Amino acid sequence: MPTITGSVEDVAGRPATGTLRVRALAVRRNAGADAVVDERTYDIPVVAGVITGSPVVDPGPVQISLSTGGRFRSWEAMVPSGTSVDLWDLIESVVTPPPSATYFKMPPGGADGQVLAKSGGALAWTDPPTGGGGGSLVEDPPGSGLFSPSSAGLTEDPNNPGLYLI
């Protein structure tokens, strides 16, 4: 049966002080099948950024709550068997990572009528393409979120029905 370990700090690297709380999500049989685990909360100190004095925690579903710097966060997690488990491993097992995105720095310059285009791994100002085109998409019916081509110049992608090549 594991203890909960780990360090807690803010975005500037300053160690946190607070409390990590752990409790069983529901009354259940313990991992050794010789006792009942109740739902009482156990407070574990976080001192100078370090989780200290963690008891041996019975493996199974728990609620973990972290209270530091006036903030309170809570997660439902599954404590694995073993000798120790890092707090982040418990949190990471139940949180959804933010969507990944690619960001580009806006280049200086640009003249009236120019557009931004991806150029390698960056953006660059350029003149808009000429020739072709002439089509557009119209929301049909208005407010529906559905779009259809309004004129020539748009061709439906045969490999992706509903997507149009411009």
pLDDT single digits (tens) 106-126: 677 778 777 777 777 777 788
pLDDT single digits (tens) 141-165: 676 666 665 555 556 667 766 665 6
Q: What percent of the chain has pLDDT over 90?
A: 51
* Residue 141 structure tokens: 């019916």
pLDDT at residue 119, as a whole number = 73
pLDDT at 3 over 90: yes
pLDDT at residue 25, as a whole number = 94
DSSP single-letter state for residue 58: P
Mean pLDDT for the stretch of residues 74-83: 93
E-assigned strand segments in 10-133: 18-24, 28-29, 36-37, 42-47, 50-51, 60-68, 71-79, 84-86, 115-119, 122-126
* Residue 32 structure tokens: 């050794």
Domain with CATH 2.60.40 in the chain: 3-92
pLDDT at 78 over 80: yes
Reported as half-sphere exposure (CB side, CA atoms, 13 A), residue 68 has a value of: 21
CA-based nearest residue to 5, from 75, 71, 72, 55: 55
* Torsion sign, CA atoms 91, 92, 93, 94: positive
* Phi, psi at 80, each rounded to 5°: -80, 170
pLDDT at residue 161, as a whole number = 67
CATH 1.20.1070 fits 3-92, yes or no: no
pLDDT at residue 124, as a whole number = 79
pLDDT at residue 117, as a whole number = 77
pLDDT at residue 84, as a whole number = 94
pLDDT at 36 over 70: yes
pTM, rounded to two decimals: 0.58
